[in-house]
Amino acid sequence: MTPKAVLYGCAGPDLTPDERAFFRDADPLGFILFARNFDTPERARRLTEELRSSVARAEAPILIDQEGGRVARLRPPFWRKAPPARLLGDLYARDPERGLEAAKLNSRLLAADVLSVGCDVDCLPVLDIAFPETHAVIGDRAYADRPEPVAALGRAAAEGLLAEGVMPVIKHIPGHGRATVDSHDALPRVTASRPELERTDFVPFKLLSDLPWAMTGHLLFEAIDPADCITVSAGSVKEIIRGHIGFDGLLLSDDLSMQALGGSLGDRAARALAAGCDIALHCNGRMAEMVEIAGRVGQMTEAAWQRFENGRAFLARHCDPAGRQELVDAARRLAELLPE
């Protein structure tokens, strides 16, 4: 029996009895944590242990968005303040070799923080391109304004996470850079032609399509499907994500509670899975919403479970963790490359 095709958040830094009972019965593949879930390192480690215990699976993945810059769920004083992607991109523009070195070192250090609280999946790298019209919700989360440096820095970042034993997630496939509204609030509509998209937005994802996990972007591409957002468009997932881009790894939806998606939470989950997402993602930890979603998601398909297993094997092949002194040296070297 495979787990259910869903990832859930929880409400706070401690797992409540109601949450524990719900997760036991709902049996999600895993979980995702946010700043509201982190207090002290000890409390955070207890939470991740209890989450895995609630589903009786030690391998249940626990995700976090630890990008650096504005998007960092782990913050000082207990955890490192990491730079935004754009600073790495700026260094790359001046000196590509040093930029790639910094990106990889930074991700190793991000991985160390993530692992310290029991998380093992980091929703990084962001492969969205920064265009003049790009909404601030992406902003300095994008490495650069061209596909090639985005792909190169994304690869380096993914390699750093993998080396330390953390699963990277490429996002927001097939590209969020042309969004002019925040998909948390409304559905972005992209009017660029398909040839233009294939020359730009899709390129970083195609170049990193061998990586095991990806997360969709909630956008509507008029040249691909003028009716539906990519996350709930079966044609778009098949033709663009699986076809043109060639991604055959585990595909997560972006957060179902974002207002780019219409309909009830249960409908959103069912539509995302029917469209070809392997896993529906729900982040806010609201019990009523999770209960509704649980009634509309089934177990992971055989293909989805195989993709999950393939990802674990991929991670094992690339894992080569640094020792404590090596991480100290990495932090020192990164400070030389990116002085404050």
Q: Using CA atoms, how far apart are residues 267 and 203, in angstroms rounded to an integer?
A: 31
Half-sphere exposure of 66 (CA within 13 A, CB side): 36
Dihedral, CA of residue 219, residue 122, residue 33 and residue 82, to nearest 10: -100
Q: Using CA atoms, how far apart are residues 184 and 219, in angstroms rounded to an integer?
A: 11
- Determine whether 323 is exposed, middle or buried from the number of CB atoms within 10 Å of its CB (0-12, 13-18, 19+): exposed
* 3-state SS, residue 80: coil
254 included as an active-site residue:
yes
Q: Using CA atoms, how far apart are residues 146 and 93, in angstroms rounded to an integer?
A: 11
Tell me phi and psi for residue 273, to 5 degrees.
-70, -40
Q: Residues of 40-75 as b/e, b for ≥16 C-beta within 10 angstroms?
A: eeeebebbbebbbebbeeeebbbbbbbbbbebbbbe
Per DSSP, helices labelled H in 57-184 are 85-94, 96-116, 147-164
184 included as an active-site residue:
yes
CA angle 5, 250, 178 (to 5 degrees): 105
H/E stretch holding 118 reads: none
In sequence order, the 6+-apart residues with CB closer than 8 A to the CB of 5 are 29, 273, 278, 279, 280, 297, 298, 299, 300, 301, 304
Please identify which of the residues 254, 255, 278, 282 carries the catalytic annotation: 254
Please identify which of the residues 14, 18, 25, 184 carries the catalytic annotation: 184
Q: Which residues are part of the catalytic machinery?
A: 184, 254
